[in-house]
Amino acid sequence: MSWQRILGHQRQKRMFANAVGRGRLGHAYLFAGPEGVGKRLFACELAQALLCEQADAERFDACGDCSGCRQVLSGTHPDLIQISVPEGKTELPIELFVGSADKRGREGVCHELSLSPMHGGHRVAIIDDADKMNVASGNSLLKTLEEPGAGAVLILITKDPDQVIQTIRSRCQAVYFGSLEPSEIEKVLLQEGITADDALISRAVQRSEGSVANAIRLVARLQEQSQVNTDALTKVLSHGPFRAEELARVGDAILEQCKSDPGSQREAAKGIMETCLCWLHQALTQSEAPLVQQDAWADAMEQCFEAILQIDRRASVTTVLDAFYHDLEINLRPAWK
């Protein structure tokens, strides 16, 4: 059940299931692959499967419910050690491996892995940012790699295996993780509650290069952009009498942001129309449409719906928008003009 969180990477999962099934689990692995494809999550799931007290050996699956599983999930399992580059640092300092100067050899990953497992058959260390190990840190880890304690399993993680110290790299079994499929990234975004906006998800996934981390960053950037666009449109709409050429100027700038992607252009055009619709609705309910007949206001709203429909029917974005700006101008022209 625990592996359900892992999307893709079936080959790697089978490899570990076979290795464990045949009693041939190695003691050191280097997980390599692009950022944001699930290497760390995979390492955690692997640790859980190894530390679960009621693991289903046949399916190599953790139960998710025993005290071992619960401790792994809460990050308190005494047989699971995790390190990464500390906040504000650029390297994995030697202290993380062999302890601080006054506790040298009595703390750190190397010491932890020399101890016998507290609960079961394994002690697992996950070393993130393995390419950020300096020479001293690397040297301190060498002995552990050569003479690991009983049941010790080291998982080093990197997006840049060439930057991992060669003597370390050569003592680990490399496991490569490739990019994720668009459908897998889509699932993660939904599953993790990043956004439920289909259009946004599709735009982010298209440009994510198979990485969830990239997709999440893109969603944030697109959301931010969309807010900036909405604010710019609302500002133009709310400023004095309606002027179609001003709206068109902001609209053109918004379309320009996604000119290479027809799907995104459609969404952007609909965004412009929806913002106009919101503004019209708000102005009408707050009686801020003094210079224009109520009928004309309602017509303008109808016109927004119609334009959105045309975009959905795949009419040309520029043609629909040109007509949209023009018709809005006619409907919203002050009566005295």
Question: For residues 50 and 62, which CB has a smaller minimum distance to Zn ion in the complex?
Answer: 62
Return the residue of 6, 63, 85, 199 that touches Zn ion, per CB under 5 A: 63
Which sign does the torsion angle of CA 201, 204, 209, 213 carry? negative
> CB count, 10 Å around CB of 75?
9
Report in angstroms how near the CB of residue 49 gets to Zn ion at its nearest: 9
The verdict on 280 binding Zn ion (CB under 5 A) reads: no
Interface stretch with Zn ion, choices 27-35, 64-72, 168-176, 226-234 (CB under 5 A): 64-72
The verdict on 52 binding Zn ion (CB under 5 A) reads: yes
Which sign does the torsion angle of CA 75, 81, 83, 86 carry? positive
Report in angstroms how near the CB of residue 68 gets to Zn ion at its nearest: 5
* Distance in angstroms (rounded) separating the CA atoms of residues 290 and 269: 28
- Site mask for Zn ion (CB under 5 A), range 206-245, x = bound: ----------------------------------------
Q: Are 8 and 180 in contact (CB under 8 A)?
A: yes
The verdict on 185 binding Zn ion (CB under 5 A) reads: no
* Distance in angstroms (rounded) separating the CA atoms of residues 204 and 112: 41
Report in angstroms how near the CB of residue 128 gets to Zn ion at its nearest: 23
The verdict on 66 binding Zn ion (CB under 5 A) reads: yes
Q: Tokens 């809005």 identify what position?
A: 328
Cα 223–chain centre separation: 14
Report in angstroms how near the CB of residue 39 gets to Zn ion at its nearest: 22
Structure tokens at 274: 């929806």
Question: What is the binding site for Zn ion (CB under 5 A)?
Answer: 52, 54, 62-63, 66, 69
